[in-house]
Chain A
Amino acid sequence: MKKTLYFITLLAGFAVLFSSCMDDLNTRPLDGRELTAADVFDDPASYRQFLAKLYAGLSVTGQQGPAGMPDISGIDEGFSQYLRALFHHQVLSTDEAVIGWADQTLLDFVHQDWTSTCVFIAAFYYRIFYQIALANEFLRETTDVQLDRRGVTGQLRTDIQGYRLEARFLRALSYWHALDVFGSVPFVTENDPVGGGFLPPQISRADLFAFIESELKAIYPNMAPPRSPGFYGRADRGAAWMLLAKLYLNAEVYIGQPRYTEVITYTTNIINAGYSLVPNFRHLFNADNHLSMQEIIFTVPFDGIHTNTWGGTTFIIRGGTGGNMNPLASGIESGWGGLRTTRNIVELYSIADGRRLLHTSGQTLDIAELTNFTHGFASTKFTNIRRDGTRGSSLGFADTDFPMFRLADVYLMYAEAVLRGGTGGSMALAITYVNRIRERAFGSTAGNVTAITLDFILDERARELFWEGHRRTDLIRFGRFAGPNPYVWPWKGNSRDGVAVDARFNLFPIPAADLAANPNLVQNPGY
């Protein structure tokens, strides 16, 4: 009896001991690198830091530069950077660029024979939806209900309302890229459930157009006025107007309806907001082009030390340097020898055009072999050299920001809208604007025009906006990209002189992985 009692007491004692140890299972991160969702918003600065992540998603690829702690997985971080992926889809697939690297399926862009399993297409798709998901999460965390729960009032509350508008702009920007590049895509907003097996429905191109339009029109009245101080690297009303103008300019492609009048409306708004052209064209694409904000409406910032990546302008500058080019003259330690341009573009420039920034020494105009950097002229448009001739802060990564939207583009859009029959503008004004661009390019009135045609506008856009990520959209709008049309360029269709390709290539395919993960989705026709 005594033994049993002793025994039971012993067991009971241990039971108490053990149960207290069970609490130890509730571990928490012990260092400052990670914060639990419950604690993170105790710090008022965290809202700003979260919004900064949304913007940073266009510049960097993770929480460590140039690579490390990636945002998305399954592909090399450098390949998946937002702007680099945009470049692949919008520039590499056109007459503006060829590349010499046989990495995975990269050359499919140049050949125009990509498939739905191409990892670079998946990278851009997932990068776009990463931005959208992040924006949705930001909006969920900053609803009135959430802010009330956390007791947020005063100036911070007001600031957060502005942040919400910026988050919606960024979401609209990514949806616009999706609309332009993929067409009909999955649709998800902050009102949709997170995880739990939710499968986003597929939105039609027309409905997505309407959504983007309504979002932008809802947010721009309350956004900061164009050219507001303290908005470097952020989106103000000018950016929202620009995105609307882009949306409307391509409306015939997206929804089959011409909306050129609205283009004129919004481009006029921008033109009247006080932007002006930077006198020296090169200052838009150099290491300290953050000084050129008088012309740049929306910029994607980079910095060699603080905001760096293997993509972005580092990719354009280092990727475009090779052969006998002196890398130090472009502010980098070495080039990667990849990007050149085709004769179609070279032949658009007259020798006196200051925008003809080509490196021709040791290069042939003709491209016999894609993988040989000396075939095809190289470009020196983007550099990592400052206005005073000194190099950027790092020779490995560029300080050069990427001007996504700028005034010169607005002038050309205005002119095109007028030519295409939009009302509310004048041809005279259009020609004036075009001449402003030409005067800056030629340094005199030698290049001025007295009349303009649509073909001229297309060519002028190539000359002015070379490698700025607009070419594919422009070629499609003019019916010269894929499909049966006579416009060819070297290596289009994997043929040395270029051949027409199937019309399905006017849209990129939805990646096979998402089709597998989401049964609601239907692939684009022809893939």
Chain B
Amino acid sequence: MKQILILCGLLLLMAPSLFGQTVRVTGRVTDATDGMSLPGVTIMIQGTTIGTITDIEGNYSIEAPSNAVLVFSFVGMQTMEVPVAGRTLINVALERVAILVDEFVVIGYGIQRREDATGAVAVVGARDFNRGMITSPQQLLAGRVSGVQVTLPSGAPGDGGVIRIRGGSSLAASNDPLIVIDGVPIENAGVPGVRNPLGTINPQDIESFTVLKDASATAIFGARASNGVILITTRRGRVGTPLQISYTGTFSMSTIAKKTDVLSATEFRDLMSQRFAGRPEVLGLLGNAETNWQDEIFDNAIGHDHVLTATGAWDFLPYRISLGYSAQDGVLRTDNMRRMTASINLTPSLLNDDLQLTLSARGSLVENFFADQGAIGAALRMDPTQAVRDDQSLFGGYFAWRLGNRPTPGTPNPMALLNLRDDQANANRFIGNFRANYRLPFLPDLRVNLNVAYDFSQSEGTTFTPDFAAWSFFQGGYRGNYWQDRSNELFDFYLNYNRAFEAIASHIDLTVGYSYQRLWHRGSAFGESNKDNLAFVMGLNPDRHRILVPDIPYESEQVLIGFFGRLNYTLLDRYLFTFTLRNDHTSRFSPETRSGLFPSMAFAWQINEEPFMANADFLSELKFRVGVGVTGQENIGLGDFPWMARYTRSMLGASFPFGSPDNFIQTIRPAGHDRNLRWEETTTYNVGLDWGIFGHRHYGSFNFFMRETRHLINFIPVPAGTTLTNFITTNVGNMESIGAEFSIFTRPVVRQNFNWLLGFNASWNRSEITRLTVVDDPGYLGILTGGIAGGVGNTIQIHSVGYSPYSFFVFQQVFDPQGRPIEGVFVDRNGDGIINEDDLYRFHNRAPRYFMGITSEFNYRQWSLSFAGRANIGNFVYNNVTSTAGELGWLFNSRGPYLSNVHREALTVGFNRSHFFSDFYVQDASFFKMDHITLSYNFGNIMGGGSNLMLSGIVQNAFVITQYEGIDPEVFSGIDYNFYPRPRNFVLSLSLQF
């Protein structure tokens, strides 16, 4: 009784707020599929800009008029509108949209619903990116997509690394994929003085990568698409979201994980005394110090990165502004990079959503201080009994090998290389992009698209070596500078017609367009020795001052024009056909060969949409795809005019005294050229299956492809005397590859407080060269490639018909019964009694046979633990470190004279001379690397007012499992020498949102 009275009283008290007044509404938002609470859901009062977001528990609280409507929205969920109707407690369960990642996927010249994609397309969204101290976009992708092999950059700060999609389809031409940022294809080449052209894009500005792998997806890019295409979409604001400011700070400390095993000073002294006993001219060269040169040149390095972004929408104008600053030291002393980026993205939607505009501008300023990476190799060779500094030295106070006051040939002092040499560069880059998408009022199914972009980079650098540096003493030092301007102008125009025809149960999506792109660059370099240099002053060199690099500017341009079209035809909502055609013209080839036609077609069958599958509710997707397409590669690395008959002027040092010893004149040389040069052409066949179950809680895909490249650029010998050079670059080779890719993403455990995500991908591919010469010749060995250190002009790899590219071409080592190699004894493979170049054979190659990636994430309440790892299996590396420094003859060099440290292998294996071509040095470098292990804690709303704080601790490059004995098995070129070690990073990251 009493309770009823109190209840009535309360109701009466609340009565006023029920009618026209504001109420405080609270509640919890959950995921309808599994009941998990959803933090970060946006709740807006409809028709206003007032809103809030749910906290970590999914709870929210908002003051709203009692007759208002609350709009609940969240990425990946269907938006719900709920009238308040006077309630104070409103719990909401949001339904999932059928796909986990964004509904629409960016493809070439347009977007497509992910489920309608007929090609092999993979999307990596921000939540799947790798974590840690990320200074280049390539790092975000490593190991995340099947078929995409990313070799991480070396340890140099800002270095880019290498991306290969399905192994690349070329030999001598570029194997890099085409990178498109917001619809703007960018050049892979950058200005000099920048370690990585992609590094001018702040990784935090990237929303997602779309990787187009097979020809039916890439053929619309025509003559640049043979190696796959990566579409990068940058982050933008969204209509209806309140202003959100966020700051992310990342602090890292880098350490070297593994150093090369060379001898210590004591071990070195003992070895020298044993081996050169009774030879005072050798033992007298030993010093008295104990120096660990690798410890001297390497040091722990600090880096920090800050990004401040403001996202929101001002009425109809969503915006995103971001500012970033990054400073990273390299583990090699004196190596440093600093970068400032700024970007603004405006995406207004006007005229009742008929006109959608995107204006974006991004700029970056990079300052690089380069350390001389030769110090790495020098530190391995340098005599450990010598001290770093020598007070009596004329050479900057550093020890140097010398005779009296004149330097002699010998290993340069690694610390002198780092400290005396100054090499720095600044680069600016600006990318401006204007896109418009207009729906014609009189033809609502037709949309007109325009994309105009301007990408301009500029760099300036200087290098300085003092005249008292021992290695530059006779030259008189070096002072030089260089600069370059580069621009990329794009004009794209295309029409898109999109309409359903219910009468024939079809849907047509037709795109027709035109693309114009101009790439231009101009630059110059200048270098001279120091005036009145030390060697001249000491009377040791008559050369007072010399111009070493004359200032002769270079300038060049390239124009690409393409006409393209795509037809997507859907029948009965489950049979999808795609046809694309592109006609590309490039200025790089002659008028007869510059035009090319690149068609493709694909078919996809959405099996789960079939009536007979209607009861298979567990299946969210089952799509079978098959496609074939032709793509081209026009970046054959021969400059912009390889087809044209030209004459080249001679430069410094190649003049000729014509008629009199004082009359040096320039010479001109007709350049070897081939007027019939054309691009390489690749035909790819792809078969795939995409599947998803339980509301797309688990999904994956499988692809199998076969690819043939024709008209491969090859540098082949021409019959002597027939052209103006001995080798000509012409289209003459064929290469084939096959491969398979598998990927799976699952959420094995989803509970209210705990969930677990797991992703795994595995790829296999194999390439084989099938033709290299005009006439098949069994005696033609192939193209020698892969230069190594040791001797002059030695190469260790070869491209041969019937083998994979970059196979190692070596002698077969003979081993003793204990497994030790017998010095200088090789298998006489052709049985002719002598060991010569006819006994070389092809032994493995540098590319991995299989590569895999694994990523996993555990979320428990506010905690999150994640890791990502990659494995390469079957890649081999030539250990050029031990092949040069692993032999005892290396210890004393009479051409100096000087002493060199050796690798421990010189003691265990005991070679007395170098044997560069032994297959003993070609070693299995298969590895598993744990790229990062991350532990995060989300503090949630501790600062009040809808803010969010998250703290993460990350170990990058946590551990490596491999049997390779060098310092890092991940060597893209397959030749391990002078490798800049990848550090292990300990990272703390702070993310704050208001």
By a beta-carbon cutoff of 8 Å, the part of chain A in contact with chain B is 2-3, 6-7, 14, 18, 21-22, 24-38, 40, 45-46, 48-53, 55-56, 59-60, 62-66, 68-69, 71-76, 78-79, 101-105, 108, 113, 115, 117-119, 125-126, 129-130, 132-134, 136-137, 185-188, 192, 194-195, 198-200, 230-234, 290, 301, 303-308, 322-323, 328, 333-337, 371-374, 390-396, 512-519
CA distance A119 to B793 in the complex (A): 10
Q: When each residue 786-799 of chain B gets 1 if its CB lies under 8 Å from chain A and 0 otherwise, what string results?
A: 00000111100000
Partner of B561, one of A22, A32, A102, A185: A22
- Interface residues on chain B, size class: 35 or more
Q: Is the CB of A195 within 8 A of B656?
A: no
Show 18 A/B contacts (Cβ-Cβ < 8 Å), sorted by A.
A14-B514, A24-B561, A31-B553, A33-B648, A49-B666, A65-B651, A72-B725, A75-B793, A102-B914, A126-B726, A230-B659, A230-B660, A303-B655, A334-B408, A336-B895, A394-B543, A513-B717, A516-B777
CA gap between A185 and B720 in the complex, in Å: 9
- Give the Cβ gap from B323 to chain A, nearest Cβ, in Å: 37
Choose from B552, B556, B646 the contact partner of A35 (Cβ within 8 Å). B646
Q: Which residues of chain B in 766-811 are interfacial with respect to chain A, using CB atoms and an 8 Å cutoff?
A: 773-775, 777, 779-781, 784, 791-794
CB proximity of A225 to chain B, nearest CB, Å = 15
A50 CB to nearest B CB, Å: 6
A37 adjacent to B670 (CB under 8 Å): yes
Instruction: Point out the residue from B556, B586, B723, B726 that lies within 8 Å of A73, measured CB to CB.
Output: B726
Q: Inside 8 A of B535's CB, which chain A residues have their CB? A: 395
Shortest Cβ gap from A376 to chain B (Å) = 13
Is A200 a contact of B657 with CB atoms below 8 Å? no
Docked complex Cα distance between A100 and B589 (Å): 47
Taking the complex as formed, is B894 at the interface, i.e. its CB lies under 8 A from any CB of chain A?
Answer: yes
Q: Are A333 and B895 in contact (CB under 8 A)?
A: no
Cβ–Cβ contact A53 & B657, under 8 A? no
Check A514 against B720 for contact (C-beta < 8 Å). Answer: yes
B913 neighbours in A (Cβ, 8 Å) = 102, 371
Interface residues of B (CB under 8 A from A): 406, 408-409, 442-443, 474-475, 493, 514, 516, 518, 522, 535, 540-543, 546, 552-559, 561, 585-587, 591, 594, 640-641, 644-661, 664-671, 674, 715-727, 773-775, 777, 779-781, 784, 791-794, 834, 836-838, 894-895, 913-914
Output the nearest chain B residue to A37 by Cβ-Cβ distance. B645
Nearest residue (CB) in B for A328 is B540
The distance from the CB of A320 to the nearest CB of chain B, in whole angstroms, is 12
Are the CB atoms of A322 and B650 closer together than 8 Å?
A: no
Known contacts A40-B647, A232-B659, A306-B653; A195/B722 CB under 8 A:
yes
Given contacts A34-B671, A49-B666, contact A65 B654 (CB under 8 A): yes
- C-alpha spacing A63/B913, complex, angstroms: 37
A28 to B644, CA, bound (A): 9
Query: Are B658 and A63 in contact, with the CB atoms below 8 A?
Result: no
A360 to chain B minimum Cβ distance, whole angstroms, is 16
- Per the bound structure, the CA–CA distance linking A73 and B556 in Å amounts to 24
Quick check: A133 and B721 within 8 Å, CB to CB?
Answer: yes
Which of B552, B587, B671 interacts with A24 by CB under 8 Å? B587
In contact, B777 and A301 (Cβ under 8 angstroms): no
* The one of B540, B546, B552, B836 that contacts A32, using a Cβ cutoff of 8 Å: B552
Q: A306-B655, A373-B894, A512-B779 are in contact. Are A27 and B724 (CB under 8 A)?
A: no
* Residues of A with C-beta under 8 A to B779: 512, 515-516
> Which 8 A-B pairs have CB atoms at the shortest separation, nearest pair first?
A65-B653, A76-B793, A126-B726, A37-B645, A129-B720, A53-B667, A518-B719, A188-B721
Residues from chain A with Cβ under 8 Å of B775 in the complex: 516, 519
DSSP majority for the A interface?
loop
Contacting pair B725 A130 (CB below 8 A) = yes
How far is A334 from B896 in the complex, measured between Cα atoms in Å?
A: 8
Q: Which residues of B contact A188 (CB under 8 A)?
A: 721-722
Q: How far is the CA of A483 from the CA of B886 in the complex (A)?
A: 41
Q: Which of A49, A79, A188 has the most chain B CB atoms closer than 10 A to its own CB?
A: A49
Known A22-B561, A518-B720; judge A63-B667 contact (CB<8 A): yes
Chain B residues lying within 8 Å of A48, measured Cβ to Cβ, are: 658, 665
Known contacts A195-B674, A290-B661, A307-B657; A25 and B587 CB within 8 A of each other: yes
Q: Which residues of A contact B655 (CB under 8 A)?
A: 56, 303, 306-307
Given contacts A374-B894, A512-B779, contact A30 B555 (CB under 8 A): yes
B407 to chain A, nearest CB (A): 9
Query: What 19 new A-B contacts, CB under 8 Å, besides A24-B516, A187-B721, A512-B781?
Result: A24-B587, A25-B594, A31-B556, A36-B645, A48-B658, A52-B666, A69-B651, A74-B727, A105-B837, A130-B725, A200-B719, A301-B661, A322-B894, A334-B408, A371-B913, A373-B894, A513-B780, A516-B773, A518-B719
Q: Is B723 a contact of A40 with CB atoms below 8 Å?
A: no
A328 and B407 alpha carbons, distance in the complex (Å): 11
Residues of A near B666 (CB, < 8 A) are: 49, 52
Contacts of B542 in A (CB 8 A): 390-395
B960 to chain A, nearest CB (A): 35
Q: Is the CB of A337 within 8 A of B791?
A: no
B793 close to A104 (CB less than 8 A): yes
A71 touches B669 (CB 8 A): yes
CB-CB under 8 A from B658, the residues of chain A are 48, 51-52, 55, 233-234
B723 and chain A: residue at smallest CB distance: A195
Contacts A18-B514, A36-B644, A74-B726 known; A115 to B838 CB distance under 8 Å? Answer: yes
CB neighbours of A515 from chain B (8 A): 779
> Which of A117, A137, A518, A519 touches B837 (beta carbons < 8 Å)?
A117
Known: A200-B722, A233-B659, A373-B894. A74 touches B649 (CB 8 A): no
Cα of A57 to Cα of B514 in the assembled complex, Å: 48
Closest to B791 in A: A103
A107 and B380 alpha carbons, distance in the complex (Å): 29
Nearest Cβ on chain A to B543's Cβ, whole angstroms? 5
Which A residues touch B558, using CB under 8 A? 27
A73 touches B725 (CB 8 A): yes
Q: How far is the CB of A278 from chain B (nearest CB, A)?
A: 16
Chain B residues closer than 8 Å to A69, beta-carbon distance: 648, 651, 654
